């Protein structure tokens, strides 16, 4: 039933004015899932969304105790963006500051990704979720999701895991059916529809009261349990369920590698959990005793996770582990038939994104490449494809990393990374950065001898290799042969893909340890900024511009060629444009012939700007860096298509600089250009101002190997050294 906001306001108006609602008696693990797509004006975030979240949170007692409330937030557009986990801020003051620090980004509306992430990762003990309190998810969106079926499936998984979901839809573009599909039952309690973001003010107290009522009505009655295996119903959804107390694991001998174990016994109505055995890692043979909390339900009841004691607490999940350390990291993912496609798309790729999120991504710091393999090796992107964390995370998605199927050709995958990713064939690999390879597989390679040989060659060349074995069918000896020494640092075992998340932080910490620190004092002359051979492509439409406008663009390009800073760089340049339309003379003729000639002239196919961008992208030369300078203005009618082609170009490795003249949609411009936008976008009011614009290719392409001297930034052009070009064959 549709939840009419006017009825809510009338029903609670007197109550709202009389007192401020508080819900302090009951604890809750509350996660906000907030739309951050391009359809939302950023000002609405500051004026209405942030205050609404703060008002709802203010109703609860936030703290570290078991009877206190915890808050987490994830935003979403093309991907989910973790703002903070449930155990990140454990006081009301700190969580309010965390809410104020929410970063607004733009993109499409992939609600399903945020729902999947929140359900599988945020509502887990390692991220602060507790077994004896209610789980509440609050979804706030202003439009229909890009993948409605996946969104509905993800919401059903969340509800099956016992999460109570409120859905709040804002504006005319919201689909009521999708709000109902996402929300818990009954929908008249859990669905809110608003005309605009200003209306959030009017529902904050009614919504808070409704949230409190749900929590009170579903409060669990504690029962006494023992450390024996515990059986309970699926977690907390509008029913009374017994409270499960933590159990203590049996004392076990430690081994030489981290091992994750779990036991599941799915039935039609209950989930049976046994006390998990926990093995921790140490260099000596000692006996340890640890305490393991019972795990919460996951979207797939047949997959359960346990967390080893030596995994770093994920309270640091929103920070980076390796700060300013330079590293070139390649993920090598098994995509053979033995890997279930759902595990590949929603568990393995999620794990890679989570690990990537612990590093500071920048041209001079950590860079990431990705290859997948089955019978053949498929490079997905290289080390220089993405220069910031956001664009990199957006690229690690099932839409772009396509599952393959086939046999397990691990040897060729390692060989590819050694030769093309890190080796002499790789123009992008840095000699001064640590080379790290993370190999994930769930089976024996089709040629173990070749795999062992290629891994040995890669390690001999300086690669630090981590091997992660998933499931019962891996060859432990092969994992150890692939990995660097010692095994206890470089070899990981997990029982299923769902358990990958429990080694995410440990892997990040171990990887960080093999990355050398940046020296405090760096001699820039010994570590110059290296400019590699680069092709600069200027792209613009001629047919829609006047003579003066075309002249201004050409003068802009001419200044580039005379710039002293660019003269000594190994740069090749080219222009891609369309032919100017000429008003061809039509001779005197009969009216019928004249009309035919005129129609022929008027109906000549027009070359659009996105076609020019596509041409540049497809004809780019290999073995060189590529920069594209695109000119757009109010006459550019295919901006969305240009944006799509530019995104493909950036995925391919292009740096895209945009010169935007006049009134052009800034949101689309920011998505066409590379990041950061302030470096790759130049906006001017008109073509007369074109002489004030200067593209500095060295600033875009320079990747100094040393940028720190006693924490002071150094001019990256000091000690500039260029890589000489190989003369072209005559």
Q: How far is CA 90 from CA 66, 117, 136, 392, 658, in A?
A: 11, 21, 17, 30, 43
Select from 142, 156, 145 the least CA-distant residue to 193.
142
Q: Where are the beta strands (DSSP E) in 48-98?
A: 70-76, 80-84
**How far apart (Å, rounded) are the C-alpha atoms in residues 521 and 721?**
20
For the stretch 70-84, pLDDT in tens is 999 999 988 899 999
Q: What is residue 473's predicted lDDT score, i.e. its pLDDT?
A: 84
Q: What is residue 169's predicted lDDT score, i.e. its pLDDT?
A: 92
**How far apart (Å, rounded) are the C-alpha atoms in residues 670 and 650?**
13
Residue stretches of the chain with pLDDT short of 50: 1-19, 220-321, 519-528, 703-730
In DSSP terms, 659 is beta-bridged to 631, 682
Which residues fall within 8 angstroms of residue 161, CB to CB, at 6 or more apart?
A: 119, 123, 135, 234, 235, 296, 297, 298, 299
Please answer whether residues 502 and 126 qualify as being in contact, where contact means their C-beta atoms are separated by less than 8 angstroms: yes
Q: What is residue 348's predicted lDDT score, i.e. its pLDDT?
A: 93
Q: What is residue 698's predicted lDDT score, i.e. its pLDDT?
A: 62
Helices (H), 259-388: 341-343, 349-356
Q: Is the dihedral of CA 594, 595, 599, 602 positive or negative?
A: positive
Half-sphere exposure of 425 (CA within 13 A, CB side): 9
Select from 501, 418, 505, 504 the least CA-distant residue to 465.
418
**How far apart (Å, rounded) are the C-alpha atoms in residues 524 and 542?**
44
**How far apart (Å, rounded) are the C-alpha atoms in residues 662 and 632?**
9
Burial class (CB in 10 A: 0-12, 13-18, 19+), 439: buried
Residue in the structure block whose two tokens are 């573009």: 173
Q: What is residue 132's predicted lDDT score, i.e. its pLDDT?
A: 83
Q: What is residue 531's predicted lDDT score, i.e. its pLDDT?
A: 66
**How far apart (Å, rounded) are the C-alpha atoms in residues 294 and 247?**
7
Nearest 5°: phi and psi at 664?
Answer: -125, 140
For the stretch 672-727, pLDDT in tens is 988 777 778 888 888 888 877 766 666 666 543 333 233 333 333 333 344 444 44
| CA angle, residues 232, 306, 63, in degrees to nearest 5 | 80
3-state secondary structure of 173: coil
Nearest 5°: phi and psi at 390?
Answer: -60, -50
CA dihedral 117, 235, 208, 126 (to 10 degrees): -50
Q: How many residues are present in the chain?
A: 730
Q: What is residue 117's predicted lDDT score, i.e. its pLDDT?
A: 92
3-state secondary structure of 599: helix
3-state secondary structure of 252: strand
Q: How far is CA 500 from CA 304, 402, 530, 671, in A?
A: 11, 20, 38, 32
Please answer whether residues 536 and 571 qualify as being in contact, where contact means their C-beta atoms are separated by less than 8 angstroms: yes
Please answer whether residues 189 and 214 qualify as being in contact, where contact means their C-beta atoms are separated by less than 8 angstroms: yes
Q: What is residue 696's predicted lDDT score, i.e. its pLDDT?
A: 66
Q: What is residue 196's predicted lDDT score, i.e. its pLDDT?
A: 84
Select from 417, 479, 415 the least CA-distant residue to 448.
479
Which residues fall within 8 angstroms of residue 673, CB to CB, at 6 or more apart?
A: 646, 656, 657, 658, 680, 681
Which residues fall within 8 angstroms of residue 730, CB to CB, at 6 or more apart?
A: none
Nearest 5°: phi and psi at 401?
Answer: -100, 90
**How far apart (Å, rounded) are the C-alpha atoms in residues 304 and 301?**
7
3-state secondary structure of 295: coil
């Amino acid at each position: 039933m549709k939840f009419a906001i006017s009825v809510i306001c009338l029903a609670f108006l007197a109550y709202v004015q009389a007192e401020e609602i508080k819900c302090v008696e009951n604890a809750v693990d509350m996660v906000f899932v907030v739309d951050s797509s391009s359809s939302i004006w950023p000002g609405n975030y500051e004026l209405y969304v942030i205050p609404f979240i703060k008002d709802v949170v203010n109703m609860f007692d936030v703290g570290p105790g078991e009877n206190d409330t915890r808050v987490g937030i994830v935003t979403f557009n093309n991907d989910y963006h973790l703002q903070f986990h449930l155990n990140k801020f454990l006081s009301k003051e700190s969580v309010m500051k965390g809410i104020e620090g929410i970063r607004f980004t733009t993109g499409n509306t992939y609600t399903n990704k945020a729902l999947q992430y929140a359900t599988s990762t945020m509502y887990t003990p390692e991220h602060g979720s507790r077994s004896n309190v209610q789980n509440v998810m609050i979804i706030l969106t202003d439009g229909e999701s890009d993948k409605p079926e996946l969104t509905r499936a993800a919401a059903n998984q969340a509800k099956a895991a016992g999460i109570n979901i409120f859905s709040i839809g804002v504006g005319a573009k919201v689909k009521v059916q999708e709000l109902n599909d996402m929300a818990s039952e009954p929908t008249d309690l859990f669905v809110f529809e608003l005309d605009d973001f200003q209306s959030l003010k009017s529902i904050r107290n009614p919504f808070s009261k409704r949230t409190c009522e749900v929590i009170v009505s579903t409060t669990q009655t504690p029962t006494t349990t023992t450390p024996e295996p515990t059986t309970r119903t699926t977690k907390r959804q509008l029913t009374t369920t017994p409270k499960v107390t933590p159990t203590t694991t049996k004392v076990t001998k430690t081994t030489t590698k981290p091992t994750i174990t779990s036991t599941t016994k799915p039935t039609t109505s209950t989930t049976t959990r046994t006390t998990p055995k926990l093995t921790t890692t140490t260099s000596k043979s000692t006996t340890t005793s640890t305490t393991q909390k019972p795990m919460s339900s996951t979207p797939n009841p047949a997959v359960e996770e346990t967390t080893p004691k030596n995994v770093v607490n994920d309270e640091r999940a929103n920070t980076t582990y390796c700060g300013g350390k330079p590293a070139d990291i390649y993920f090598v993912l098994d995509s053979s038939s033995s890997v279930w496609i759902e595990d590949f798309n929603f568990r393995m790729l999620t794990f890679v994104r989570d690990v990537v999120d612990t590093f500071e991504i920048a041209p001079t710091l950590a860079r990431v490449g990705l290859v997948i393999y089955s019978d053949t090796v498929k490079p997905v992107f290289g080390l220089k494809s993405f220069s910031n964390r956001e664009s990199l995370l957006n690229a690690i998605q099932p839409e772009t990393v396509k599952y393959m199927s086939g046999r397990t050709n691990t040897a060729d995958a390692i060989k590819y990374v050694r030769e093309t990713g890190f080796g002499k064939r790789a123009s992008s690999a840095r000699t001064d950065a640590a080379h790290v390879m993370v190999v994930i597989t769930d089976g024996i390679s089709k040629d173990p001898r070749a795999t062992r040989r290629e891994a040995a060659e890669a390690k001999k060349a300086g690669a630090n290799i981590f091997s992660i074995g998933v499931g019962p069918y891996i060859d432990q000896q092969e994992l150890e042969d692939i990995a660097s020494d010692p095994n206890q640092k470089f070899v990981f075992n997990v029982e299923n893909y769902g358990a990958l998340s429990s080694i995410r932080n440990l892997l990040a910490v171990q990887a960080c340890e093999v990355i050398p620190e940046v020296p405090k004092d760096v001699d820039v002359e010994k570590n110059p900024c290296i400019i590699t051979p680069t092709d600069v492509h200027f792209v613009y439409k001629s047919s829609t511009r006047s003579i003066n406008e075309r002249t201004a663009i050409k003068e802009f390009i001419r200044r580039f060629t005379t710039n002293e800073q660019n003269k000594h760089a190994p740069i090749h340049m080219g222009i891609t444009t369309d032919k100017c339309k000429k008003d061809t003379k039509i001779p005197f003729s009969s009216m019928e012939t004249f009309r035919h000639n005129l129609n022929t002239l008027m109906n000549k196919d027009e070359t659009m700007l996105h076609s020019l961008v596509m041409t540049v992208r497809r004809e780019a030369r290999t073995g060189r860096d590529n920069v594209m300078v695109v000119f757009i203005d109010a006459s550019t009618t295919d901006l969305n298509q240009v944006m799509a082609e530019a995104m493909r170009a950036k995925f391919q490795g292009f740096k895209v600089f945009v010169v935007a003249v006049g009134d052009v949609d800034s949101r689309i411009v920011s998505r066409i250009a590379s990041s950061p936008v302030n470096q790759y976008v130049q906006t001017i009011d008109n073509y007369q101002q074109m002489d004030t614009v200067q593209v500095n290719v060295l600033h875009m392409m320079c990747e100094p190997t040393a940028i720190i001297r006693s924490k002071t930034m150094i001019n990256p052009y000091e000690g500039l050294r260029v890589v000489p070009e190989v003369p072209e064959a005559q």
